[in-house]
Amino acid sequence: MKRGKKKGIAFILTFAMVAAAMLSGTSMVFAAEADETGSEMNGSACTLTEGCTLENGHDGDCSVAETGSSILGEGNGAATAANLTAVTASSTPIVGTGYSFDSDTGILTVTENDGTTAWQGDFGADAIKEIVVESGVTRIGGAAFRGCANLTQVTLPEGLTEIGTSAFADCVSLTAITFPSSLTTIGEFAFDGCTSLTEVTLPGNLEEIGMYAFSDCTSLTTVTFTGTVAPTVPSATYDMFDGCTSLVAIYVPNGATGYDGGSWAQYSEKVTYGASLISLLISEGTLDPAFSAETYNYSVTVGSDVKTITITPTAQANETITVNGTSVASGSACEVSLGDGTTEIQIVVKGGSLTTTYTVAVAVTQSKATTAASSSTEVTTTASETDSSAQTGDDTNLVLWIALLLAAAAAGGTAIGSRRLLNRK
């Protein structure tokens, strides 16, 4: 479906939200548009107080207004002091129902469900660079942050369960977003036109994704579903990834169910189960046990003359492989040096945000010559210790003989007698 037609559907949904809000007494602020008579914003410029931002739909430059002036401009659509908020350097944060905004940093902090939309009209969407949604917020309202063109970072809390229709649509600078595990519903057009998103990981508790939820995310290359049961998705007519021209893979867990039938059939060529190897070859020895994609630990025994082993891992399409931290192309050989004893080889496969590690422990056996040499060394050591003990005994006798000889000489005896006495001992 063409983007224009999709936008028509989005407009109808937005109009329905406005009507519901009006019936419930909730106000929503939108940019003023010129009518046929040209009474609103008929090309005339608004005069604003110094440091003010222009409301959507207004043109003009900031200047110093006359003291006490409450009307800034002319006509029914003119900006007024009541609906414009000064945004100046080192300004005081803007505080409203369920939100606060720091104009110095561009950080919008949301503390209540109503705060996701209550900021609209108090300052321009382009001023928002970062959004922090605090704990306690359970739902992002419809069109909450639509068109925040300079938004680059979003923090969502655990406990959040729903992201509403067009909530982040056309946030063209948003490159990544992390979803809490509590999220169950992503509404229609929620991230439509987020052209800088490159990868998305969706939580395991997700139950439903609305039509065109990620449509026209032209930089999106991979999407990872972590749930073992597939969420409900729209039919091909309302493809949630419509216009995602760079999307190459949709990763789901090994053993997951529901990703191969019904509305999921339209993605059959892109769905990949788990991050895993489809084969693992070695140049020496035999893998024990035999290779299986669901078996992650292996042992191999090789002879003492083997100094290297070649590993050839092959993964599923669009997955990456590292061997002991070095990138290896799928199906390519990688040589690993072996040391004495056991060498452990780790093969890491990554698909989207899913990662699987295979381990191969290669044991090098000792040769008979090495074993014999080791035994000979032990025998030689024992003999040396015996000779050393004998020598030590002779040295001790010699010292005693010399001592006796000196004593005999002093007493007028003979050295021979002393020697015989020593020998008798």
HEC string for 73-92: CCCCCCEECCCCCECCCCCC
Q: What is the pLDDT of residues 213-228, one digit of tens each?
A: 999 999 999 999 999 9
Q: 135: exposed, middle or buried (C-beta count within 10 Å: 0-12, 13-18, 19+)?
A: exposed
Q: What is the mean pLDDT of residues 68-92?
A: 43
Please tell me the predicted confidence (pLDDT) of residue 381.
47
Task: Please report, for residues 15, 57, 120, the alpha-carbon distance to residue 30 in angstroms, rounded to integers and kept in the order given.
Answer: 11, 9, 8
ω before 157 within 30° of 0 (cis)?
no
Residue 26 DSSP one-character state: -
Query: Which residue type is seen at 12?
Result: I
List b or e across 143-165, with b for residues whose CB sees 16 or more CB atoms inside 10 angstroms. Answer: bbbbbbebbbbbebeeebebbbb
pLDDT > 70 in the chain, percent: 65
Beta bridge pairs of residue 107: 102, 130
Domain ranges of the chain: 1-17+84-273, 277-364
Q: What is the pLDDT of residues 358-417, one digit of tens each?
A: 999 999 997 655 554 455 445 444 444 545 555 555 566 666 656 666 666 666 654 444
Please tell me the predicted confidence (pLDDT) of residue 54.
52
Residue 360 · residue 345 · CB < 8 Å: yes
Residue 370 · residue 304 · CB < 8 Å: yes
Please tell me the predicted confidence (pLDDT) of residue 262.
94
From CA 224, how far away is CA 299, in angstroms rounded?
Answer: 32
Residue 194 · residue 218 · CB < 8 Å: no
Query: Is the pLDDT assigned to residue 34 strictly greater than 70?
Result: no
Residue 266 · residue 236 · CB < 8 Å: yes
Please tell me the predicted confidence (pLDDT) of residue 55.
52
Backbone φ, ψ for residue 348 (5° rounding) = -110, 125
Query: Is the pLDDT assigned to residue 33 strictly greater than 60?
Result: no
From CA 312, how far away is CA 391, in angstroms rounded?
Answer: 61
From CA 288, how far away is CA 295, in angstroms rounded?
Answer: 10
Query: Is the pLDDT assigned to residue 287 strictly greater than 70?
Result: yes
**pTM metric for this prediction:** 0.66
Cα dihedral 133, 139, 140, 141, rounded to 10, equals -140
Tell me yes or no: is domain 277-364 CATH 1.10.3470. Answer: no
Task: Please report, for residues 370, 374, 377, 378, 388, the alpha-carbon distance to residue 381 in angstroms, rounded to integers and kept in the order given.
Answer: 17, 11, 6, 5, 11
Q: Which CATH architecture has domain 1-17+84-273?
A: Alpha-Beta Horseshoe (3.80)
CB within 8 Å of 248: residues ≥ 6 apart: 221, 222, 270, 318
> 299: closest CA among 284, 311, 287?
287
Q: What is the mean pLDDT of residues 155-175?
A: 98
CB within 8 Å of 397: residues ≥ 6 apart: 422
Q: Which of 43-52, 205-214, 216-225 has the lowest mean pLDDT?
A: 43-52
**Strand 342-351, strand 107-110: pairing:** unpaired
Structure tokens at 141: 């309202």
Query: Is the pLDDT assigned to residue 153 strictly greater than 60?
Result: yes
Please tell me the predicted confidence (pLDDT) of residue 91.
72
Residue 126 · residue 148 · CB < 8 Å: yes
For 19, the 3-state DSSP assignment is helix
From CA 225, how far away is CA 250, in angstroms rounded?
Answer: 7
Please tell me the predicted confidence (pLDDT) of residue 151.
98
pLDDT band, very low/low/confident/very high, at 317 (cuts 50, 70, 90): confident
